[in-house]
């Protein structure tokens, strides 16, 4: 695959948005944050109430990328082997053969990931970080690209297990999915009156290897020292904040840097602006900040505390 310019990266991103628009109405901010996560090589956690097309969006994105897709419905009785696979004894050959789990795909949707116990949640840790799984002591590489989209409902807490910090840290972004605007919701109803497009109706937009070429082009995006200094100031401010029991780690800072470069690349821009860092700090850091018990009693979350930090740290001009 030949190299792509940043203008070509932006054009392909626009084509992906258009393709997703066949099935998903609105949610432009969610779509862009998903594309940023994908381009940066990370994984996305979508949080929103049921009925906001989170599953439809994941299926449609896989179709637009032309990549294999698998979905796992996380339930309380789901076991790790149901996700990664297991070795099964074959009576005909008297040998064990590997039964691949749904993790052996390119785009994996973990639906309602917080409805399964931590033991099963942890089955994805190695896959998301190392791009491999270990079954009976043998490591198996996963296909590239490997992109996990997980969903969770922020309202329903009965029968759920909150994701531990180590699991949350594997997600580059926590993307808020909100209700559509009034005109967008009306368009959803209009489409419901006819024959609504399905993910299978979405034609692949990218040719084989183009996603890797887009990721390679992202490395052309320049980051000035003053932008790095601003990013570092935001990250270190979270560690000095007395209302946070745990601030952002260097891995969180690196995630924010990658997301900022991807954001600039999707805009066809060869440099990162301080405002890119400020805008992306919320989806990249909101799930990585742990408030103190006193702050939680006062009704403060990691995101509200982060908003105060972003308001205090001076943005370079």
How many Å apart are CA 67 and CA 46, to the nearest integer? 20
Q: Which distant-in-sequence residues (6+ apart) come within 8 Å of 197 by Cβ? A: 22, 23, 191
Say how far residue 253 (Cα) sits from the centre of its chain: 16
How many Å apart are CA 26 and CA 32, to the nearest integer? 11
Say how far residue 252 (Cα) sits from the centre of its chain: 14
Pairing of strands 147-152, 173-176: unpaired
Pairing of strands 138-141, 44-47: unpaired
Please list the pLDDT of the chain residue by residue as tens digits (317 residues): 568 899 999 999 999 999 998 898 888 999 999 999 999 999 999 998 888 889 999 999 999 999 999 999 998 899 989 998 888 877 777 777 888 889 999 999 999 998 888 888 888 888 999 999 988 888 889 989 999 999 988 766 666 778 878 888 899 999 999 999 999 999 999 988 887 778 888 889 988 889 999 999 998 999 999 999 999 999 999 999 999 998 899 999 999 999 999 999 999 999 999 999 999 999 999 999 989 999 888 888 889 999 999 999 998 88
**pLDDT value, residue 246:** 86
* Cβ proximity of 309 and 241 under 8 Å: yes
Q: Give me 70's structure tokens.
A: 């698998």
**pLDDT value, residue 27:** 87
How crowded is the C-beta side of 150, counted as CA atoms within 13 Å?
A: 24
Our CA dihedral for 50, 56, 59, 63, rounded to 10 degrees, sits at -160
**pLDDT value, residue 94:** 73
pTM above 0.85, yes or no: yes
**pLDDT value, residue 87:** 81
Report phi then psi at 183, rounded to 5.
Answer: -65, -35
Q: 190: buried, middle or exposed (CB in 10 Å: 19+, 13-18, 0-12)?
A: exposed
**pLDDT value, residue 111:** 92
* Cβ proximity of 232 and 313 under 8 Å: no
């Amino acid at each position: 695959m030949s190299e792509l310019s940043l203008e070509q990266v932006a054009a392909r991103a626009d084509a992906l948005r258009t393709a997703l628009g066949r099935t998903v109405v609105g949610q432009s901010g969610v779509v862009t944050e998903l594309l940023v996560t994908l381009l940066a090589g990370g994984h996305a956690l979508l949080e929103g109430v049921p009925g906001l097309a989170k599953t439809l969006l994941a299926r449609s994105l896989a179709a637009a990328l032309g990549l294999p897709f698998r979905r796992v419905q996380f339930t309380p009785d789901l076991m790790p082997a149901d996700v990664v696979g297991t070795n099964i004894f074959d009576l005909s050959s008297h040998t064990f053969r590997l039964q691949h789990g749904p993790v052996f795909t390119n785009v994996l949707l973990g639906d309602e990931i917080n409805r399964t116990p931590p033991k099963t949640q942890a089955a994805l840790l190695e896959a998301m970080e190392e791009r491999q799984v270990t079954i009976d002591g043998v490591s198996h590489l996963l296909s590239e690209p490997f992109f996990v989209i997980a969903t969770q409902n922020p309202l329903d807490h009965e029968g759920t297990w909150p994701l531990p910090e180590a699991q949350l840290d594997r997600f580059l972004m926590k993307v808020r999915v909100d209700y559509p605007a009034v005109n967008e919701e009306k368009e959803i109803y209009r489409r419901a009156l006819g024959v609504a497009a399905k993910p299978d109706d979405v034609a692949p937009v990218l040719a084989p290897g183009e996603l890797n070429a887009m990721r390679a082009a992202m490395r052309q995006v320049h980051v000035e020292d003053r932008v790095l200094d601003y990013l570092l100031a935001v990250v270190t401010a979270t560690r000095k904040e007395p209302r946070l029991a745990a601030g952002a780690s260097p891995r969180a800072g690196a995630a924010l840097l990658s997301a900022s470069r991807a954001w600039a690349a999707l805009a066809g821009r060869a440099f990162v602006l301080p405002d890119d860092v400020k805008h992306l700090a919320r989806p990249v850091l909101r799930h990585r900040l742990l408030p103190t018990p006193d702050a939680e009693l006062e009704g403060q979350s990691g995101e509200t505390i982060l908003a105060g930090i972003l308001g205090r740290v001076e943005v370079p001009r």
